[in-house]
Chain A
Amino acid sequence: MIRFALGRLVSLTASLIVASIVIFAVVEVIPGDPAAFMLGVNARPDTIAALRAEMGLDEPLIARYAAWVSGMVQGDFGMSWTYKTPVATLIADRIWVSLPLAIYALALSTLVAFPAGIYAASRRGGAGDTAIMGATQLGVAIPNFWFAMILVLVFAINLRWFSAGGFPGWADPWAAIKALTLPAIALALPQAAILARVMRSSLLDMLGEDFMRTARAKGLTCRQALWRHALRNALIPVLTIIGLQFSFLLAGAIIIEQVFFLPGLGRLIFQAISARDLIVVESVVMLLVFTVIMVNFIVDLTYAAVDPRLRARA
């Protein structure tokens, strides 16, 4: 188990180094001078030069990359050019929207998908199975931003149960959870549909295995065998999907954050790119890459915990 974890750790570090080079290079080649953008069309060339110097843009690329990476290793993400606040503070503020939103959406989607998938698998071919599969087909097909607009139309504009968007902060936890509810539902729907389908097919695969026949032969009912033996084994592909979904929910909620004007990480990246606040883009993307890699690392370790064969193979 320790060798397995160490091996993963080495490849994790290598991934991070490669990612930092790619992110820095890509962001630096985006056309558009940040200083000229900030000062607008009436600025004089000497003013722009003064700002470039203030922002450290006149230093060579390698030096700036080195400064960025060594800063990050020490936990210093640099200073935002446009917001004039530390990037770490910006991220810390936004993560309190994005992380709870991702967890909320993941919880909702798991809560819906597990029972639905298990029910469908146990009623294979029946009316319940057909209904659930039909519903998930629809859930996968509906774009989440469109679903979000429908939610706003019904629950914010017509029924007035929720605000149409915005985030009041965690000072009042109930208001914060309420503000995240519609976005979380909008995000959870397609995820739940995918997860339910994976859950069902994975369970059905297990039901055909030899050990299931043995379990039935020992006298367990079909349902008992499913709960005691099939479910645990069916979880591996489901965990993979959950890991991928969590990464997606954390980084990929840009459109939903835009629709609900939530101050999350996605919107921060979006604004920073159009304002050419390169240091913010670089640091936030790097943080997301780090999170995704860490989530995958944890998922890998969970596999090993669930399935002893994986430990042996490593």
Chain B
Amino acid sequence: MHHFKRLAASTAVVLCASGALAQDSITVAIQLEPPNLDPTSGAAQAIDSVLYANVFEGLTRFDADGAIIRGLAQSWDISEDGLTYTFNLAAGVTFHDGTTMDAEDVKFSLDRARAEDSTNAQKALFADIADVTVIGPLVVQVTLSKPNGMFLFNMAWGDAVIVAPESIDTIATNPVGTGPFAFANWVQGDRLELARNDSYWGAAPALETATFRFISDPTAAFAAMMAEDVDVFVGFPAPENLPQFAADPRFQVLNGNTEGETILAMNNQREPFDNPLVRRAVTHAIDRQAIIDGAMFGQGTPIGTHFAPHNPDYVDLLANSQFDPDLSRSLLAEAGLADGFTTTLKLPPPSYARRGGEIIASQLRAVGIETEITNLEWAQWIEEVFTNKDFGLSIVSHTEPMDINIYANPDYYFQYDNADFRAVLEDLNATTDPAGRSALLAQAQTIISEDYVNGYLFQLGVATVARAEITGLWVNQPTAAVDLTGVSWGN
């Protein structure tokens, strides 16, 4: 409606020659509304969905395939020992409030994120930074306390974007960045508007304005798309309706991957899951395809370890945990649990967990494992499962990119404690050459797969429904983002 009004008001004459009209505004729906607009503090993905690459930019950034490309840093030199990164910043960059972006802003942003009282949700990304020094107006040097092969990757996260001291106090409600779109207006609960930044330092985007709307109800999402109230829905919440959109010539459906490894988490320190035989028995009891078909309407790729299958370093380890209930039962007998056992299965709100949980419960029952299902809200899940580790089994999708390092933390909620694995990850952190990193990543994936730390289910898919004319949308979600830089109406 809003969209139509704008059009009618500004181009009433052109409307007569309809069809030839080049549309330059777009309405994008996502499920959740960002609670605030500060990507450098809250963990809510919706903040990045709206602002990443559109309003805020970092030193480096993810492209549509998840590769790390240049951002505000146009080039960089890494010292021989891998400890010093010298970044050369793009020239002529201004924030949306007109102030200049320079090396001082980079220093401010990185120092703020790693400060004592920082509330950055991903503070670990900055943990290895020992010092940030301004060399010149457009040259900044970052010194690490130890080599970190992931540093350029870390700097691409939405939590590492460059902000300015002049506008930091009001960033939560009035975000000021350097990106191709500037924040225009936010009607809380309803919509958020961005407008093209005409003084953008890079290639100008095709769109003049973009409106984000927030629709979490699956029925409402279907209606809003069908009534053409919204042009694009990223992360469409009703997978059962996708075939209908695919068959409708007005729409296109993009099925992509996310960085979300969806796992059946097992409490490795709690009986009986402290016994590797039991963990292995659980993984052989699970039929992944039945879960993908039944809970996800076919959306999702089976995984055999905690790694994204679209990553070039992924190793196919599905053979370690093939669906084999007989093997599962004999492993349980070997573990002295021939009569099975009872455990808890605590489920957070997303449908992959709630629907998947019912299916997994019945698959486990078939080999003698009874589960008591508890449905939890996210806040409860974080307290009970994640913080207090009070669970036997849980289902959750780990959506952070390249997060296999969580297995190196014995205090992480599934409590996997393996010194060999930690040694491999330490090597990985100290290695910067790609071939060496590949080999170490393969080793890490294999260790956790053969230790049956968790049940590895599937890589979470993401469906985008859009008007057929629209081009340039991301298919995959290498990070939570709706990058509108290259999006246009294709005419």
When the two chains form their complex, are residues B223 and A39 in contact, meaning their CB atoms are under 8 A apart?
no
When the two chains form their complex, are residues A32 and B36 in contact, meaning their CB atoms are under 8 A apart?
no
- Which residues of A sit under 8 angstroms from B124, Cβ to Cβ? 42, 44
When the two chains form their complex, are residues A84 and B43 in contact, meaning their CB atoms are under 8 A apart?
no
Interface string of A52-83 (1 = CB under 8 A from B): 00100000000000000000000000000011
When the two chains form their complex, are residues B400 and A175 in contact, meaning their CB atoms are under 8 A apart?
no
A83 to B37, CA, bound (A): 8
When the two chains form their complex, are residues A165 and B120 in contact, meaning their CB atoms are under 8 A apart?
no
- Chain B residue, CB-CB nearest to A161: B227
- Which residues of B sit under 8 angstroms from A261, Cβ to Cβ? 190, 213-215, 217, 220, 224
Judge if B150 is at the interface, Cβ distance under 8 Å.
Answer: no
When the two chains form their complex, are residues A275 and B43 in contact, meaning their CB atoms are under 8 A apart?
no
A288 to chain B, nearest CB (A): 16
- Which residues of B sit under 8 angstroms from A179, Cβ to Cβ? 1
A258 to B217, CA, bound (A): 7
When the two chains form their complex, are residues A82 and B1 in contact, meaning their CB atoms are under 8 A apart?
no
When the two chains form their complex, are residues A267 and B383 in contact, meaning their CB atoms are under 8 A apart?
no
When the two chains form their complex, are residues A263 and B189 in contact, meaning their CB atoms are under 8 A apart?
yes
Instruction: Pick the residue among B2, B116, B118, B173 that contacts A85 (CB under 8 A).
Output: B173
When the two chains form their complex, are residues A47 and B1 in contact, meaning their CB atoms are under 8 A apart?
no
A122 to B36, CA, bound (A): 57
When the two chains form their complex, are residues B33 and A271 in contact, meaning their CB atoms are under 8 A apart?
yes
Contacts known (A43-B43, A263-B187, A263-B188); A37 close to B123, Cβ less than 8 A: no
Judge if B387 is at the interface, Cβ distance under 8 Å.
Answer: yes
- Which residues of B sit under 8 angstroms from A83, Cβ to Cβ? 35-36, 172-173, 188
- Which residues of B sit under 8 angstroms from A43, Cβ to Cβ? 43, 121-123
When the two chains form their complex, are residues B43 and A39 in contact, meaning their CB atoms are under 8 A apart?
yes
- Which residues of B sit under 8 angstroms from A271, Cβ to Cβ? 33, 189
- Which residues of B sit under 8 angstroms from A30, Cβ to Cβ? 379
B133 to chain A, nearest CB (A): 25
- Which residues of A sit under 8 angstroms from B229, Cβ to Cβ? 156, 163-166
Judge if A180 is at the interface, Cβ distance under 8 Å.
Answer: no
Judge if B442 is at the interface, Cβ distance under 8 Å.
Answer: no
When the two chains form their complex, are residues A40 and B43 in contact, meaning their CB atoms are under 8 A apart?
yes
List CB contacts (< 8 Å) of A149-169 with chain B: 149, 152-153, 156-157, 160, 163-169
A32 to B383, CA, bound (A): 5
Q: What is the predominant secondary structure among interface residues of chain B facing chain A? A: loop
When the two chains form their complex, are residues B42 and A39 in contact, meaning their CB atoms are under 8 A apart?
yes
Contacts known (A50-B117, A51-B119, A261-B213); A164 close to B220, Cβ less than 8 A: yes
Judge if B21 is at the interface, Cβ distance under 8 Å.
Answer: no
When the two chains form their complex, are residues A84 and B383 in contact, meaning their CB atoms are under 8 A apart?
no
A163 to B220, CA, bound (A): 11
Judge if A209 is at the interface, Cβ distance under 8 Å.
Answer: no
Judge if B219 is at the interface, Cβ distance under 8 Å.
Answer: yes
Judge if B151 is at the interface, Cβ distance under 8 Å.
Answer: no
When the two chains form their complex, are residues B220 and A274 in contact, meaning their CB atoms are under 8 A apart?
no
Interface string of A263-285 (1 = CB under 8 A from B): 11001100100111100000000
Instruction: Pick the residue among A36, A39, A85, A152 that contacts B119 (CB under 8 A).
Output: A39
A260 to chain B, nearest CB (A): 7
- Which residues of B sit under 8 angstroms from A299, Cβ to Cβ? none
Interface centre among B189, B226, B386 (most CB of A within 10 A): B189
Judge if A93 is at the interface, Cβ distance under 8 Å.
Answer: yes
List CB contacts (< 8 Å) of B190-236 with chain A: 190-191, 213-217, 219-220, 223-224, 226-227, 229
When the two chains form their complex, are residues B1 and A33 in contact, meaning their CB atoms are under 8 A apart?
no
- Which residues of A sit under 8 angstroms from B44, Cβ to Cβ? 38, 40
B193 to chain A, nearest CB (A): 12
Interface centre among A84, A85, A160 (most CB of B within 10 A): A84
Instruction: Pick the residue among A32, A51, A153 that contacts B377 (CB under 8 A).
Output: A32
Judge if B378 is at the interface, Cβ distance under 8 Å.
Answer: yes
Judge if B384 is at the interface, Cβ distance under 8 Å.
Answer: yes
When the two chains form their complex, are residues A172 and B119 in contact, meaning their CB atoms are under 8 A apart?
no
- Chain A residue, CB-CB nearest to B223: A164
- Which residues of B sit under 8 angstroms from A277, Cβ to Cβ? 35
Contacts known (A51-B119, A82-B42); A153 close to B223, Cβ less than 8 A: yes
B361 to chain A, nearest CB (A): 23
A215 to B285, CA, bound (A): 82
A267 to B33, CA, bound (A): 11
When the two chains form their complex, are residues B383 and A36 in contact, meaning their CB atoms are under 8 A apart?
yes
A133 to B378, CA, bound (A): 46
Judge if A216 is at the interface, Cβ distance under 8 Å.
Answer: no
When the two chains form their complex, are residues B215 and A165 in contact, meaning their CB atoms are under 8 A apart?
yes
Instruction: Pick the residue among A34, A38, A160, A268 that contacts B227 (CB under 8 A).
Output: A160
List CB contacts (< 8 Å) of A226-264 with chain B: 258-264
Judge if A289 is at the interface, Cβ distance under 8 Å.
Answer: no
A115 to B220, CA, bound (A): 34
When the two chains form their complex, are residues B173 and A84 in contact, meaning their CB atoms are under 8 A apart?
yes
Interface string of B1-26 (1 = CB under 8 A from A): 11001000000000000000000000
Judge if A31 is at the interface, Cβ distance under 8 Å.
Answer: yes
A218 to chain B, nearest CB (A): 57
When the two chains form their complex, are residues B36 and A84 in contact, meaning their CB atoms are under 8 A apart?
yes
When the two chains form their complex, are residues A163 and B1 in contact, meaning their CB atoms are under 8 A apart?
yes
Contacts known (A32-B380, A274-B378); A166 close to B43, Cβ less than 8 A: no
When the two chains form their complex, are residues A47 and B223 in contact, meaning their CB atoms are under 8 A apart?
no
When the two chains form their complex, are residues A164 and B224 in contact, meaning their CB atoms are under 8 A apart?
yes
Judge if A217 is at the interface, Cβ distance under 8 Å.
Answer: no
When the two chains form their complex, are residues B121 and A42 in contact, meaning their CB atoms are under 8 A apart?
yes
When the two chains form their complex, are residues A175 and B187 in contact, meaning their CB atoms are under 8 A apart?
no
Contacts known (A41-B386, A175-B1); A166 close to B191, Cβ less than 8 A: yes
- Chain A residue, CB-CB nearest to B4: A163
Judge if B382 is at the interface, Cβ distance under 8 Å.
Answer: yes
Instruction: Pick the residue among B120, B226, B379, B384 that contacts A164 (CB under 8 A).
Output: B226
Judge if A90 is at the interface, Cβ distance under 8 Å.
Answer: yes
A85 to B379, CA, bound (A): 21
A115 to chain B, nearest CB (A): 32
Contacts known (A85-B188, A166-B1); A31 close to B384, Cβ less than 8 A: yes
A41 to B398, CA, bound (A): 9
When the two chains form their complex, are residues B220 and A259 in contact, meaning their CB atoms are under 8 A apart?
yes
- Which residues of A sit under 8 angstroms from B172, Cβ to Cβ? 83-84
- Which residues of B sit under 8 angstroms from A276, Cβ to Cβ? 379
Judge if A94 is at the interface, Cβ distance under 8 Å.
Answer: yes
Contacts known (A85-B173, A166-B213); A90 close to B188, Cβ less than 8 A: yes
Task: Sort A-B residue pairs by CB-CB distance and give the 5 closest, nearest first.
Answer: A40-B43, A32-B379, A263-B189, A82-B35, A164-B223
Instruction: Write 12 A-B pairs (CB below 8 A) sorted by A numbering.
Output: A33-B383, A36-B383, A39-B42, A40-B44, A41-B386, A43-B122, A50-B117, A50-B119, A83-B36, A168-B1, A263-B189, A274-B349
Name 8 extra pairs, CB < 8 A, besides A153-B223, A169-B190. Answer: A31-B380, A38-B35, A42-B121, A43-B121, A84-B173, A172-B5, A267-B189, A274-B349
